[in-house]
A = this chain, B = another copy of it.
Amino acid sequence: MPTPHDVIFSALADPTRRGIFERLCRGGEQTVGGLTALAGVSQPAVSKHLGVLKKAGLVLDRHEGRQTHYTARRQALAPLVDWTRQMTEFWESRFDDLDDLLKRMDQ
């Protein structure tokens, strides 16, 4: 039973796949061909990565003629933000002494 965190973390763990997602975040909507050009892997590999990202809810696809345009769903990163905030919140709630907190940040 994969949790939402599982899905997002594992989807973004692979460097190639994360690179594709980053390109979509920066460059906006792009076709598979455009993504393949700079991905450093074959077109089928890119299609598979896009499939994983889509299943994880990180991208949307739009078919137009014989090409497929993909866009990043940045809101899908919300669980990631929540998770990191949870981890760091436990931190802050544990040490209310600011000095102690700063000392621990330095180590």
Contact = CB atoms under 8 A, between A and B. Distances in A.
Contact of A9 (B12, B77, B94, B107): B12
Interface of A: 2-3, 5-6, 9-10, 12-13, 15, 18, 21-22, 25-26, 28, 60, 72-75, 77, 80-81, 84, 86-88, 90-91, 94, 105, 107
| Number of copies of this kind of chain in the complex | 2
A91 B74 CA distance: 8
Contacts of A73: 107
A21 B5 CA distance: 14
Contacts of A74: 87-88, 91
Given A9-B9, A12-B9, A13-B10, A88 B77 contact: yes
